[in-house]
Structure 1
Amino acid sequence: MDSLNMQGLFAIIANFISFLMSFFLLTVKSKNRLGNILLAVFIMLCSIDVSGIILGQSLTNNKELYEIIKSTSFLIFPFFYFYVLSICYIDFKLKIKFLCHLIPFISYNLIILIAYLFTQNDLMQLKLNNLLLFFNTYILKFQALIYLITIVHELKIYKKIFLENYTYGNIGIYKWLSRIVMVFLVTLPLSTIKDLSYFSYHQKIFSLSVIILTSVALLMLCWFILKALYSPDFFRGVYYDMNTFRRNKNGENKAIELELSSDSLALMEQLRKHMINKQPFLEPKLTLQELALQMGIPARKLSLLINQYSRQHFFDFVNMYRVEKAIEIIEKSEKKEYTIQQIYFEVGFNTKSSFNTAFKKHTGLTPSEFKKSKIIDFSTNNKKMV
């Protein structure tokens, strides 16, 4: 099978899987309907992009239509950016101001329109073709890089909000999306090589680049499907008001820090007693707002108190008490028969992975290793007593 046929085969497979996945996302009932729609559009745009080689051959007599189809590449990263926001933040909505993200796409199509109107002017055609080439080779790659950097920034904000306000679930969304961004960053130079080899008539390099990019697209698509099937609760976002958060970071925090300086030690002691006596950490879905309500202080003040005097995020602070409770259960001889699953459910964790991560961070051992060591110690002590 020659490289051209292989490209076509990969493109057909990618289009078929993309269509099925998009159809599923658009028809399935979900709480995150907007996220599903954005992901479906993103997948179809990627499919159109990687199948460009077939479109290029079949539309040689209609250059304008081919260029219009190619212009959809300028929509890929805006829709990926919107998708990231939609799964990170439950209250995300599309707004009129987001239309500015369509400027490169509209600009490219305006150039195509002008080129169509001036088909008889060879000099104008040459200039416009060079401009389209500039858009495809440089502007498109620059746009992708800017969006990827912006997404990384938004993911860092999401991680900060999650750690400071929530304790249930894990930080999996951040890690997973970060890996996807890394894949895009790796394939970006390869995409540039593909374009340059096409315009410089290096057919072998171009064909190989297309095959690799199509393969990566297929693997990423399968990755999306498996993640959605096996981790349906994985795409649970957080509530977030960007303007409020950024305003708090600047002005409000300084005022609260001054207030904390006078009564911080007393508040911290009150918080520790509350955690030990009332054990609010046993609630799997405990949030910063709920704990602040129990303490009778503003949530932002509680967050700064924990950050400054325990040197931890809210997420790690609460999990520390959960791990200590788990250690207490393991060390009780009458509860040696407890399974790891029973223990992490009892102390407030809702997934084994988050329990293992927190436990190892606190003790240096996994729960199984720690439990095994305690059982050995208990048996040794019994033998000595006998």
Structure 2
Amino acid sequence: MVFYIGDIIPAILLFQSLIFALVLFGDSSFKRRANFLLAAFFLVMAIQFFGLLAPNFGMKWEFFGSMACIYGFAYGPLLYFYSRSLIYKESEFEYKQLIHLLPFGFLAVMAMSKISVCEYAGAIMYLSLIGYIAVSIKGLIKYRNILKQVQSKEGQIELRWLQNFMVIFCLTLLLDIVDQFVLGLDITQGVSSIHLMLLFLINWVFYKGLKQPQIFMGISRNDVNIIQNQQVNTTPKKPNAEEHDELNRLDEFMRSSEIYINPDLNINELAKAVSIPARRLSFLINGFLDKNFIGYINEFRIELAKERLKNPKDEGETISEIMYDVGFSSKSSFNSFFKNHTGMTPSQFRDSNS
């Protein structure tokens, strides 16, 4: 057995990927399907690095060399399915989705048959992987736009970490292309900068993927339909009598009930409380108040926060306590909304009114 310094990072990647995959395969939480897909991603990575290290252990399996350029045909679909499983609460596996993995399966069979595929599959693999990541990022952007129309909280449920991961993964791919076809990017003694980036990324995505709060449930198809329906409506300049009455009823209910202090409030819950269909409610808020749902709810929260900052319950009451009491669950979101609304930070506002 021969082991080089440059093999240390691939060995760590192999070990971690395999351990992460086993942990995720054994998960039984409500995110079981999402974690299963992430586990499959890690398992493919473990197989890839096992193939890279196999010759060091005297394993002369030629098909691993032929497989080196096709793993991306599995990474792309798995990342795409993983992102969709986090976005949509009703996301379920359908056998027709396996068609996305057919190129990987077909090329793997060819590689095991000792047929060289890298000569023509390598460039296509990069394009395929970048394409899947681009579609996944587009889906995440659409998801956040919908989220602002139907949910009243931000933060971790926006899945920005997943979008950032995919962007950095794309940059890693571009560096890999440079390393393969233009200029070698080894740091020293065969230590690959690409492997170091992958080591960072898989630890990051594993940590972030498991850190998602239990309250996150994704968006529903009904949430998507609310927005799609809204987009085809023509918004009048002024509300008619019926719409004016509904807007007044909504405002009176919001002020009297303080339903907005619920950090998990969504448009369906509010619609039920005021007896206005969710699509209609979204139309009223966007069309006549010129706000999305989260902006509308947060205005009430900010007004209550201002009152509490002026008149605290006791001398020791902190800004964080007020933030949670009025319905915010993210300090960064609270500070951002507060400053946009008042032109001051919460601390500055409290000091100016003390």
Q: TM-score range by the shorter chain?
A: 0.7 to 0.9
When residues 62 and 227 of structure 1 are mapped into structure 2, their CA distance, relative to the original with a 3 A threshold, is closer
Consecutive unaligned residues of structure 1, counting only runs of 5 or more, are 117-127, 376-386
Counterpart CA distance in 2 for 1:55 and 1:207 is: 23
Counterpart CA distance in 2 for 1:361 and 1:50 is: 49
Alignment coverage as a number of residue pairs: 350
Counterpart CA distance in 1 for 2:244 and 2:303 is: 22
Structure 1, residues 243-300: CA drift from partner, whole Å, max 9, x if none?
Answer: x8369626x7535857x95343333233222212222212222110111112222101
Counterpart CA distance in 1 for 2:305 and 2:17 is: 45
Q: Is the 8 A contact 1:45 1:73 kept in 2?
A: no
2:311 is the alignment partner of 1:332: yes
When residues 280 and 166 of structure 1 are mapped into structure 2, their CA distance, relative to the original with a 3 A threshold, is same
Q: Is the 8 A contact 1:59 1:65 kept in 2?
A: no
User: How many percent identity over aligned positions?
Assistant: 25
Deviation of 1:170 (Å): 2.5
Question: What is the match of residue 268 of structure 2?
Answer: 289
Structure 1, residues 215-255: CA drift from partner, whole Å, max 9, x if none?
Answer: 111111222344356x441782323228x8369626x7535
Q: Is the 8 A contact 2:87 2:218 kept in 1?
A: yes
Question: What is the match of residue 304 of structure 1?
Answer: 283
Counterpart CA distance in 2 for 1:362 and 1:298 is: 29
When residues 337 and 105 of structure 1 are mapped into structure 2, their CA distance, relative to the original with a 3 A threshold, is same
Counterpart CA distance in 2 for 1:19 and 1:109 is: 20
Consecutive unaligned residues of structure 2, counting only runs of 5 or more, are none
Report SS of the residue matched to 2:232: helix
Give the TM-score normalised by structure 2: 0.86
Matches within 5 A, 1:185-264: 185-196=170-181, 204-205=184-185, 211-227=192-208, 231-233=211-213, 236-241=216-221, 245=224, 249=228, 253-254=231-232, 257=235, 262=240, 263-264=242-243
Deviation of 1:106 (Å): 2.6
Matches within 5 A, 1:1-386: 5-50=4-49, 53-55=52-54, 61-68=60-67, 71-112=70-111, 116=114, 129=116, 131-136=117-122, 138-170=123-155, 172-196=157-181, 204-205=184-185, 211-227=192-208, 231-233=211-213, 236-241=216-221, 245=224, 249=228, 253-254=231-232, 257=235, 262=240, 263-332=242-311, 335-375=314-354
Higher Cα Rg: structure 1 or 2? 1
Aligned AA (1:317): Y
Aligned AA (1:75): A
Alignment RMSD: 3.1
Q: Is the 8 A contact 2:44 2:71 kept in 1?
A: yes
Q: Is the 8 A contact 1:167 1:314 kept in 2?
A: yes
Counterpart CA distance in 2 for 1:234 and 1:309 is: 35
Q: Which moved more, 1:61-70 or 1:218-227?
A: 61-70
